[in-house]
Amino acid sequence: MAVKKKSKAKKKNSQLVIRINEDERDDFVALCDEMDTSAAREVRRFIRNFLAEHQSIEET
């Protein structure tokens, strides 16, 4: 049986610093924990979806 290798994701080599209300941050992190995910993962997912949505609009 062949062993599948995971394709390497692009290296995460940059940071984005944002300022957010402390209560909103705490609520967001707590909800991410409840959903067994991380805040960073969800922010990255949002950014990818946002870019994909707006790139497709620009191409039309």
Residue-wise pLDDT for 1-59, tens only, equals: 566 666 667 788 999 999 999 999 999 999 999 999 999 999 999 999 999 999 877 77
pTM over 0.85: no
Residue pair 38/28 in contact by the 8 Å Cβ criterion: no
| Residue-level pLDDT at 56 | 75
Question: What does the alpha-carbon distance between residue 60 and residue 56 come to, in Å, rounded to a whole number?
Answer: 7
